[in-house]
A and B are shown apart, each in its own frame.
Chain A
Amino acid sequence: MTLPRRLVLVVPVTGLAVAVAVALVMLTREEPAANGGAGAPTSDERAALLVAEFGTDADRVFLARADDPSERTLLATISHAPDWGINPGAPATTDLVAYTVLPPGASPDRTSPAELYVLDTSTGETRLLAGDADLLTPPVMDRAGTAVAYRSNGDVGLQSLVSVDLDTGARRTLYQVETTFGVFPVGFEADGRLLFAALSRAGTELYRATSADQPPELVVHASDEVARDWQLSPDGGSVSFLAPAIENERVVHRLQVVDLTDGTPVSVATARPPSAVEEFTPVWRPDGSGITVGREAYPDTSASAVTYPLGTGTPASLPAPARGYDVPAGWSADGDYLAVRSFDGVSAQDPGTETLVVVTLDGKRVTVTASSELLFLGWADGDDE
Chain B
Amino acid sequence: MMSKRALGLLALMALVMGVLAISSPAPFGATRAEACAFLRTPSSYEADERRTSYALAMDAAAMNALFPGDDYFGLPALKVGPRSNRVDGAARMPATLLRAIGWVESNSAMAARSVSYESVGPALVSFDCGYGIMQVTSGMTTPLGADNQPTVNQARVAAHYLYNIARGAAILAAKWNEAPASRPIAGTDTNSDPSIIENWYYAVWGYNGFTGPGAVQSNHPLDPRFSATRERWKCDGTQSRTRYPYQEVVWGCMASPPTRAGQQLWTPIAASLPNLSDPRFAGPLSLSNFAPPFSSMDIPTAQPSHTQAAPTIPGDFPSRVLGSPVLSVSETSIQLGLDGSGAAAKATVTVANSGSGILVWSAIPSANWIVIDPPAGVALGPEVACGSGCIRGATFTVTLNPAALPQSMTSGSITVSAANGTSEPVVVTINAEADFELPAPGTSRAY
Contacts and interface: CB of A to CB of B under 8 A. Distances in A.
B35 A11 contact: yes
A188 interface: no
A3 B137 contact: yes
A110 to B, nearest CB: 6
B138 interface: yes
A219 B252 CA distance: 39
Given A182-B214, A184-B214, A251-B279, A138 B225 contact: yes
A153 B214 CA distance: 11
B342 interface: no
A180 interface: yes
A283 to B, nearest CB: 14
A278 interface: yes
B224 A7 contact: no
Interface string A83-108: 11111000000000000001101111
Interface residues of B, number: 66
B173 to A, nearest CB: 13
A358 to B, nearest CB: 19
A185 B214 CA distance: 12
Interface stretch (B215-223, B379-387, B410-418, B431-439): B215-223
> What does DSSP make chain B's interface, helix, strand, loop or mixed?
loop
A5 B127 CA distance: 10
Contact of A1 (B32, B207, B232, B283): B207
Interface in A328-385: 341, 343, 347-349, 351-354, 371-373
A196 to B, nearest CB: 11
A4 B275 CA distance: 28
Contact of A107 (B126, B138, B225): B126
Contact of A19 (B26, B211, B241): B26
Contact of A110 (B129, B207, B217): B217
Given A87-B242, A106-B29, A226-B287, A2 B211 contact: no
B71 to A, nearest CB: 19
Contact of A8 (B35, B105, B134): B35
Interface string A215-240: 00000000011111100000000000
Given A228-B228, A251-B277, A351-B232, A15 B241 contact: no
B237 interface: yes
Nearest to A110: B217
B178 interface: no
13 contacts: A2-B126, A3-B141, A7-B141, A22-B28, A84-B242, A87-B242, A106-B127, A107-B29, A153-B216, A201-B287, A353-B231, A371-B238, A373-B239
Nearest to A112: B29
> What does DSSP make chain A's interface, helix, strand, loop or mixed?
loop
B35 to A, nearest CB: 4
B66 interface: no
Given A86-B242, A348-B229, A353-B231, 13 more contacts: A15-B26, A106-B29, A134-B216, A181-B290, A183-B214, A203-B287, A224-B286, A229-B224, A251-B282, A281-B227, A347-B229, A351-B229, A373-B238
Contacts of A23: 28
A376 to B, nearest CB: 12
B137 A349 contact: no
A51 interface: no
A351 B136 CA distance: 33
Interface in B282-313: 282-283, 286-288, 290-291
Q: Point out which of A23, A26, A181, A204 has the most chain B C-beta atoms below 10 A from its C-beta.
A: A181
A1 B130 CA distance: 7
Nearest to A3: B137
A109 interface: yes
B237 A102 contact: no
A110 B425 CA distance: 42
Interface in B11-70: 21, 25-32, 35
A250 B215 CA distance: 27
Contacts of B237: 56, 83, 372
A315 interface: no
Interface in A220-275: 224-229, 242, 244, 246, 249-253
B354 interface: no
B29 A2 contact: no
Contact of B242 (A85, A281, A354): A85
